[in-house]
Amino acid sequence: MTSEMTAPAVSAEPLWRLGTAYFSRKTVLTAAEFGVFTTLSGAPASADELAERLELHPRGARDFFDTLVALGMLTREGELYHNTPLAEHYLNAERASYVGAFLSTADARWDKLVDALKTGDPQNRWGAGAQMFTEQYRTTAAWRNFTAGMDYLNGMIGPVLAEAFDWSTVRSFVDVGGARGNLAAAILRAHPDIEAGVLDLPDVAPVFEEHMAELGLTGKITFHPGNFFENPMPDAQALVMSHVLHDWGVEEREQLVAAAYRALPSGGILLIVDPMIDDDRQGPAGALLTSLNMLMVTPHGSEYTRADCRSWLERAGFTGLTETDLGTHNTLITARKS
Ligand SMILES: C[S@@+](CC[C@H](N)C(=O)[O-])C[C@H]1O[C@@H](n2cnc3c(N)ncnc32)[C@H](O)[C@@H]1O
């Protein structure tokens, strides 16, 4: 048999799946940008009506809408297209939970992956320290977009975190870098007797208040405005740091862990959540990919291994460490101040 006639020894399918994953992402985010989900909210429409309303050429319109059905963003009943609950919640631009704009911001920076890998530099123009956030999110609308994106991510772990840890011995907690309070709300909903707080930059206060009103929790969670590198952490029996340590370099992470240790009472608990990398650094792919994303959005941030996290906690004086998988590549590590 000649070599040309030999069947390939490996299937191309895994690569093909990766290649078309980009098509899926682009189709959904383009639909969000065009306002497909906003248009269909409460107003189901046929392909012709929808194409006309959105001014789309008929050639691709039907495939576009049916692809959104196949991807689980729309349903079609008879001739009429409807939003699925997922698309209605996250991709209708009229909702505060809209993440279309947040998700689209990744496109431009991932186009610059080569530059990031060659230079080690973030692919945005925002400064280091607290400026990284305050220069980037100058308006309440910008904070709203960013914190909606955070809620989309922390919404997948909040209910799991509320169950994965024994909150029965905790009377008070503060979510450090807790954004607009969505994760704190998930814990409070499951454990209504706990005194809950959020520490975040003062500029976040308006979107925090707005979100609390939307969740029917106005006045139930205390907002502590502050800069966690400059101000002592608030008094609480437990401090949570979710998707916070990965924003920073190792030195700053150790600084935050040490500040938490100083603030906690004896017996107090620090809970750290991030998409952590396995200690052998062979996965999970989700955590390694978000680490590359951190390369492009922060000057020194990255994901890190569980072993790295344990070493920072132990160096700060914490003991009794536990580890729990929270799903979506997130790990919870808890540590106690003796
Ligand atoms: C990546 S977000 C994580 C939000 C939230 N903890 C979650 O799990 O979705 C990081 C948060 O830290 C806050 N933050 C950044 N720098 C801060 C600082 N110096 N002091 C207080 N909060 C800060 C940001 O405003 C943002 O809400």
Q: How far is the CA of 241 from the centre of ligand 1 (A)?
A: 9
E strands present in the chain: 74-77, 80-83, 172-176, 195-200, 221-225, 238-242, 269-274, 319-327, 330-336
157 ligand 1 Cβ < 6 A: no
Task: Report DSSP state, residue 268.
Answer: -
pLDDT, tens only, 264-290: 999 999 999 999 999 999 999 999 999
Ligand 1: residue whose CA is nearest its atom 13: 177
Domain residue spans in the chain?
A: 13-100, 126-336
Query: Looking at domain 126-336, which of 3.30.70.2190, 3.40.50.150, 3.40.50.12240, 3.40.50.720 is its CATH number?
Result: 3.40.50.150
Share of the chain residues as helix, strand and coil, in percent rounded to the nearest 5: 50, 15, 35
Which active-site residues does the annotation give? 246
pLDDT of residue 40: 98
Q: Which of 257 and 126 is assigned the larger pLDDT?
A: 257
Q: CA 271, 275, 277, 282 torsion: positive or negative?
A: positive
CA–CA separation, 329 vs 324, rounded Å? 11
CA–CA dist 182, 203 (Å, integer):
16
Q: Is 263 in contact with 207 (CB distance < 8 Å)?
A: no
Torsions phi, psi of 228, nearest 5?
A: -70, -10
CATH number of 13-100: 1.10.10.10
Q: Summarize pLDDT for 76-86 with one digit per residue, the tens.
A: 999 999 999 99
Q: Is 130's C-beta closer than 6 angstroms to any atom of ligand 1?
A: yes
> Residue 128: pLDDT band by 50, 70, 90 thresholds?
low
